[in-house]
Chains A and B, each alone.
Chain A
Amino acid sequence: MNENDLVEAAKRGDPDAAEELVRTHARRLSAYLYRLTGSVHDSEDLMQETFARFFGALDAYRPEGHLKAYLFRIAGNLAANRSARAHRRDVELDAASQVADGAPGPYQVAEARDAARDLSARLAALPAEQREALLLRTHEGMDYAEIARTQGASVSAVKVRVFRAREALRAEVPR
């Protein structure tokens, strides 16, 4: 059963279809929300709220093969409406202190720990639409057209947002 079939089944009241939809998207939505809010508590809370909004208005949803973009749009809007700054710094610092051990890549481990901390702070300071566009590109692998659908923006606007987000962050990456 593909995703559109699951949505239609859920509309008919099939709880198993609803469950499968949640299990398919919950993990990535939570990770995305964590990167947006910097808070484990907020990311889980907003993930649940995202599904509550989706299933609460399920009858109005028209499946067009872009459920992921639709869910991420709800999540992004919810995150934008919630101020998580109080939690963000503490959680980021805790998480950043754990990153170096398992972080692969072309960078030295000690530098990566400091860079992750600085990068997270800089990411948090970006305008929401730039942060969302960049995260959807780098972490969700969405192309510009899919990000545009998610954000309700034009492809050219997404191109500019991703570019500006990178420009703001590049100074934080060790060379």
Chain B
Amino acid sequence: MTCNAMDLSAYVDGELPAEQVRAVEAHCAGCAACAAEVADLRALAVALVAAPVPPVRPAAVEQAVASARAAVQRPSLWRTLARFWQARVSVPAPALAFGLAAALLIASRSGSGFEPKSLRVTVVPGKRPAARQAVYEEWRDAGELWELPQAVPASTARVIYQESVRL
């Protein structure tokens, strides 16, 4: 083996296969320069780890925790659609596709990306089977029903509601 600084770096990291490890060690036994380089690389690792890092403030962690807890409890477009599916609400596939496309179009036009907070569907009052009424009430109470922005015609809202939700 000839002197190879990059292999020595990988050797210190334990990233060489066993055969190459043996070759490096045999080489270093007879090469003072490479043996010194390995020692330097190990010293560098120790020096890096010894550099101080101030502990993160508990308040910063608590703030991250609070934000995360709130984030996962916010209604999500995809999560809500998944719950529609899991709840076995009757939604014809073509109608669902249309409704989703319309909802995404409205979301993008409203300049809000796909943030569900600003993507709400106006629910048109009507007669619903009891099972769907229960689901509707659960989602309504959880704030997961969408309402369209006022700029969107009510007819569009009705289409999305009727075609993609059908509660």
Contacts and interface: CB of A to CB of B under 8 A. Distances in A.
A22 B46 contact: no
A154 to B, nearest CB: 13
Contacts of A17: 72
A101 B61 CA distance: 27
Interface in B51-83: 51-57, 60-61, 63-65, 67-73, 76, 78-79
Which 3 pairs of residues, A with B, have the shortest CB-CB distance?
A30-B56, A15-B69, A55-B71
Interface residues of A, number: 64
A79 interface: no
Contacts of B50: 99, 103-105, 112, 116
Interface string A14-35: 1101110111001100110011
B68 A55 contact: yes
A48 B66 CA distance: 10
A87 B34 CA distance: 38
Contacts of B40: 170, 173, 175
A170 B9 contact: no
B43 A22 contact: no
A43 interface: yes
Contacts of B57: 44
B21 interface: no
Contact of B72 (A14, A35, A104): A14
A56 interface: yes
A99 B61 contact: no
Contacts of A44: 56-57, 60
